[in-house]
Every structure is written in C-alpha cells, then in structure tokens.
Amino acid sequence: MCTSESSIKQGDAAQSDGVADVGVWMESGFGILRSMMLSRLLPRTLASPLRVLVAAGLCCTGFVPSTGAQAVAYEAREVMIPMRDGVKLYTQVFEPVGTDEPGPILFRRTPYEIDPLPARVDPARLGPSPAFADSGYIFVRQDARGTFGSEGEWELLRPMRADRADTKAVDESTDAYDTIEWLLENVEQNNGRVGMWGISYDGWQTVMAMADAHPALVAVSPQASPGDWFLGDDAHHHGAFRLNYMFFWIGIVAMRRGDVDSALIGPAFRSEAYSFFRKAGSLSQLEETYFQGQVGEWTDLLEHGDYDAYWEKRNVLKELGKVGPAVLNVAGWFDAEDFRGPVDIYSTIEATSSADRNHLVIGPWQHGGWNLRVGDGSSFAGLDFEAATGTRFQEEVEFPFFERYLWGSGDPAPPQALVFETGANVWHELDEWPPQSVKARDLYLRSDATASFQAPDAQEGHTAFVSNPLDPVPHTASSPVLLDASYMAEDQRYLAAREDVLSFLTTPLEEDLVIAGRPQVHLQFSTTGTDADWVVKLIDVYPADTEDVSAATGKSLANAQILIVGDIFRAKYRASFEQPSALEPGQLTPLNFELPDRFHRFRKGHRILVQVHSTWFPLYDRNPQKFMDIYGANEKDLETHEHRIFHEQGAASLVRLPVWGE
C-alpha cells in the first residue's frame, strides 16, 4: 500500500543511501509505510501554531497541470489537535480567503509525512485532483498517530477498538472523529460538512473513519484500500506470502530505522530479484541473514503464518456493519497491491448498509493509477485504452461526487458501478457489480492440452508435471530490481519452454465472449507431497493476423498471450485458513477458489489460454511442498514433487467463467 504525496522526498533520501531506483519504486505505488517509521528517526519539533497568508498561483509541475482558473488565496496554518486520550496530532489546515460563503472540509489522514507548509500554496495539489483547486474547499491533512509530527504510538493497521461505546479507547476511527469535531469548532467558515479521501493506506484510514463516522462526515472516497491482508491484499493471497513486495518494503523501512545494516541489505535492492531470492534461500534464511530478529514487522509475519487473531483483528471488512456516509470506492484492474480490498469493501457495504449511496469505480489502472502523479490512465504495459481514463475519472466522477454531497450541488450521483471493460476499451454504467445477468459457463481443462466448453469423457486421465522449488516458475520475463506491476498484463510466451507450466488452449472464438465478475477455479488434483501451491491464469491469445500493436513497444501483438487475471492458492488452507491440514500423497483432492474480478472481452478470433503451475517466483514465496510451518523452513526443506491435474468425468478440472451478455 502506498500513496504518493511524500514519495519524491523519501525517494531522494533513498538515493542518497545508495539504493538504486528506490525513489522510482516508492513513487510507483509500492512502498507501504516507508515514511511513517522515520518518525522515530526524524522527529519534527513543532513551534507554536503559526499562520501565514500565501497567494496560490497556478504553479505547475509535470504532475499537476494548470487548471486555467482564477487564482485563489489560501490561509495556511499548522496545529496540534488533541485527541480524547490527550495525544496531539500534527495537522495542516488550508482555508480560502476572500469569500463569505461557508465551505466544506476535505480531509486526508496519512501515515506518510505531509509536506511542510509551502511558501506558495498550489491548491491543485491539496485535494484529490487539480479539479478541486478553485472550488473553495477547506483542505485538511494530518499525520497519523505515532508518525512524524504527531504524538502517540504507531501500530500497523491498528485494529478497531473492541468496545465502540468505550469513550476512553482510541483507534484510527476515534482519531478521525476527534479531529473532525475539533475542525468544526475551530475552523471558521465551514458549512458543517466533511469529506475524506485517500489512496492505499490513506484509503484504509478513510475506511476506518467511515466505519464509525462522525455525523458531519457525509462523503468518503476510499481508493485502493486493503481489506484483508491474508486473503487478497498486500501481504498474502489465499495464504501465500508475497515475497518480494514484503521483503523490499520491510527491508527499506528497517534500513531507514537503523534496525538492519544498510551496507548488507542495500545491495539486495540493486539485485535482479529472481536471482537474488533464489540465492538468498528460504524465509528463515532471509531472516537470519538480513533481519536477525531486529525487525518487528518481519517477525510478526513469520509468527502469524496462519489466519489467527492477529489477522482477524486487522480485517476491516468486519467493521462495516452500517456505513452512513456516501461512499465512492475506487479500484484498478492492474493494482498489484490492493485490488481485492476495494471490491470487497463495496460488496460488504452493499450487504450491510443503505446501498443507494455506495458506488464503485474500477478502471484500467495500476495502484493509484487514476492519480496524475502516476499517469493519465491512457495505457498500461502494452495495452492502449485509447483515452485518458484517469483524467475522466477525476473530472467526471470524483469531483462531482464531492460537489454533490459536500456542497449540495445539482451534480448527479455516480452510477452504482462504473466499470471499464478491457478488450473493448469501453466504460459501463451498471446497477451493481458484478452484474446479475452473468451466467456461469464451464471451461474444462482437457487431457490433450485443450480448453473446451465440452465436458471430458469418462476416462481422460490426468496431466502431470514436476514442481521443483529450487527452479521456480518466474512471474515475469523481465529482470526487475523491484516489483513492476506490468507483469499483470505481460505476454506469457516466455513460459512456453517450461515443462512445469501446463497450458490448455481453446480453438478460436466464433464470437466475442465477455467475463464480468470472479472466475471460479475448480481443480481436481493429486500430489506426491503433503502440500502444494496452485497458480491458475486466464490469458487472452491474439490471432496471428491481428492489427493490434503494443502500446509499450509499437510491435505487433500477433500470437501474443496477454495475461488477463491470475492468482495463487496454498492447498493446506483448502478447508480452513485458520486450521491448515496436510494433503494425502496420491489422493485425488478437490480445490476450489476464486480469481480476482475481471471485466474483459475476449474478441472473436482470439483464443483463451489457461495456465496452471505451482510456483510464481519471487512474487510469492516457495512452498516446501511438505506440510510444515513454511515461515520456519530452511532450504533443505524444499522438496521436488509430482503434481497431477485430472480430466475425468466426475473429477474434471475447470474454470467457471462469469459470462456476461448471453
């Protein structure tokens, strides 16, 4: 999880530490919590609150274009706002001057350091987008508890207090509540309405605020917020550990904090990831070499390998029993960190609260890709979307949403679900996501390496492959120093020669086929081991005579195999994430799980390819393929085993597609 406001500053610091390209890595939406831990190293001494009058001109950078509107004068001040337990939080308030009309407050809380008060305020950089620059909002931003200028103790994903009626207990929701209460009483010319927004961790802060909202909090936009860190966001997917993401994040945090030797861990950040992690060994060896028991975040991960109380308390979805504010949830199809969270948050609110003011937007974006600091949303990897989708979202959805609920304007409410269809490059306004009109259509994996909508014969047998964790399947053909999200739409032909990757290919489609929702995987398998990971991917295969070209290279996409969606499941959790269980060697075993949501058109003449394998490295850690505490494994525990996929009637492996429009 990452948001980008302080990324440039922290990235520059990383460069000075000799860590190649870390600034770029952080700016791209990958550096969760990299700034907040610096609060222990770089305490800010705050003088008495000061007030300065600054003229906000149309100052522009490469990230913030001029709005062309009349300049606005803003009064900027910094204050320490007391919470109910006496802790004070560093807060900046930007108030428009020269207007008699009360305005709403637009508020963002962050564990990333907010910038110092500038000599000249550019209002285009204060809100969610430049569209807010000249509309008279009162902008407020705040360092979260225990970070940078704020007092108190920091806790990663601090759980909601156990008893919401306890007036002395504190959490992120009470900090938001107490701040809003103070602002209403101490900021002149407010109209009594407050909105909140944020991307990634800031989005999670917004979710916590709306879970137990102040009455004045009437509109919120959590964007790319995590939901459940064990099932589908940030740290794990279906129990499998996201190795390179978590290692680099924790390593940089620990290096900055002084808990690890920068001379030792620094070269890791300059290394090609696949080779580095193969040589580094298992998770326990990484711990022994680099962290040495000195890094609490890594220790927590190793000590909570299953879905125990630690993870359950940090699942924000269970806190959304009744949400009062209007909600604009935002997700990106190519978000490598936090895609599932926004969709689950939207679905939970639909089920538990008044749904008429709960909205979802899903666009063709990477993590935070609808923000101009990341791009305009016109392309991703080799895919061209033929329009600036991020700019459209900012100007036609996000800005009118807050105008409607905070100013009481006549702007219409957003559609319940505004969703971008990849493969066709069109937006759809839907009554809900996923649409009810989808119909399940089973795509069977056949013994002749085909994928077919016809069920297999009674005795088609199985397809076998050998999985060796010492030679894992790479998740990308490139050699990134750090995680690059473009793997999510990468051409998979680089895996053609690997015998441990099974491929099942349809014939050319006779008509367009559109999926809308979560494809469901149903595998029938066996293994000679007692545990295994299963990776399943849906791939769009372009015809040889296509006229499409790559947006990244300009080269033809003839015969390209573009990844549409894929995910992993750790088989020991097939019955329970809380109580893992061993596999019986040689026993036919069913495994059912969902792939992430997609809205994609496989066009006529294209083919659908399903790939199945058992390692996806170093995106995820290596399963030893024997039932054990993987976080305590050594390299000698990594075992080679044969896995089989079955194709028989009554024991058929398939992917159930949510087909739309039939």
DSSP string computed for 432-454: SSS-TT-EEEEEEEPTTSBEESS
Residue 12 CB contacts under 8 Å (≥ 6 apart), including other chains: 23
Looking at residue 458, what is its pLDDT? 78
pLDDT tops 90 at residue 1: no
Per residue in 546-586, pLDDT tens?
Answer: 999 999 999 999 999 999 999 999 999 999 999 999 999 99
In CATH terms, the fold of domain 236-312 is alpha-amino acid ester hydrolase ( Helical cap domain) (1.10.3020)
Looking at residue 10, what is its pLDDT? 28
Comparing 302 with 640, the larger pLDDT belongs to 640
Looking at residue 133, what is its pLDDT? 87
The CATH number fitting domain 439-659, selected from 3.40.50.20, 3.10.20.30, 2.60.120.260, 3.30.200.20: 2.60.120.260
Which two tokens mark 96? 């428009």
**Hey, what amino acid is at 475?**
H
Say if residues 492 and 536 touch (Cβ distance below 8 Å): no
Per residue in 510-531, pLDDT tens?
Answer: 999 999 999 999 999 999 999 9
Residue 71 CB contacts under 8 Å (≥ 6 apart), including other chains: 55, 56, 57, 58
Helical pair 296-303 and 243-257, crossing angle rounded to 10 deg: 150
pLDDT tops 80 at residue 62: no
Looking at residue 479, what is its pLDDT? 78
Looking at residue 316, what is its pLDDT? 95
Looking at residue 489, what is its pLDDT? 97
Per residue in 456-485, pLDDT tens?
Answer: 987 889 999 999 999 999 999 987 777 789
Looking at residue 296, what is its pLDDT? 83
Per residue in 329-343, pLDDT tens?
Answer: 999 999 999 999 999
CA proximity to 643, closest of 581, 591, 592, 593: 591
Say if residues 620 and 237 touch (Cβ distance below 8 Å): yes
Position 30 confidence tier, pLDDT thresholds 50, 70, 90: very low
Per residue in 150-189, pLDDT tens?
Answer: 999 988 899 999 999 999 999 999 999 999 999 999 999 9
Residue 370 CB contacts under 8 Å (≥ 6 apart), including other chains: 223, 330, 332, 363, 377, 389, 390, 393, 394
Lowest-confidence region among 347-351, 437-441, 481-485, 523-527: 481-485
Alpha helices in 122-234 (DSSP H): 172-186, 201-211
Looking at residue 34, what is its pLDDT? 33
Q: CB atoms < 10 A from the CB of 563, how many?
A: 21
3-state SS class at 18: coil
**Hey, what amino acid is at 416?**
Q
Say if residues 640 and 422 touch (Cβ distance below 8 Å): no
Q: By percentage, how much of the chain surpasses pLDDT 70?
A: 89
3-state SS class at 398: helix
> Cα 131 to chain center, whole Å?
24
Position 373 confidence tier, pLDDT thresholds 50, 70, 90: confident
Mean pLDDT, residues 404-433 taken together: 95
* Rounded distance between C-alpha atoms, residue 637 and residue 633, angstroms: 6
pLDDT tops 60 at residue 40: no
Q: CB atoms < 10 A from the CB of 366, how many?
A: 27
Position 276 confidence tier, pLDDT thresholds 50, 70, 90: very high
Lowest-confidence region among 2-11, 117-126, 596-605: 2-11
pLDDT tops 80 at residue 89: yes
Alpha helices in 258-306 (DSSP H): 262-265, 273-280, 283-286, 296-303
Mean pLDDT, residues 53-75 taken together: 42
pLDDT tops 80 at residue 102: yes
- Which H helix or E strand runs over 14? helix 7-16
Q: By percentage, how much of the chain surpasses pLDDT 90?
A: 70
pLDDT tops 90 at residue 252: no
Domain 7-227+315-430 has CATH 3.40.50.1820: yes
**Hey, what amino acid is at 396?**
E
End-to-end CA distance of the chain: 37
Global pTM reads: 0.90
Position 443 confidence tier, pLDDT thresholds 50, 70, 90: very high
Which two tokens mark 239? 């129990």
Domain range summary for the chain, segments of one domain joined by +: 7-227+315-430, 236-312, 439-659
3-state SS class at 257: helix
pLDDT tops 80 at residue 36: no
Average pLDDT, the chain: 87
Say if residues 22 and 11 touch (Cβ distance below 8 Å): yes
Residue 334 CB contacts under 8 Å (≥ 6 apart), including other chains: 364, 365, 366, 369, 380, 381, 485, 488, 489
CA proximity to 344, closest of 566, 515, 597: 597
Per residue in 586-625, pLDDT tens?
Answer: 999 999 999 999 999 999 999 999 999 999 999 999 999 9
Which two tokens mark 215? 């009455």
**How far is CA 105 from each of CA 137, 196, 406, 582, rounded to the nearest angstrom?**
6, 8, 8, 54
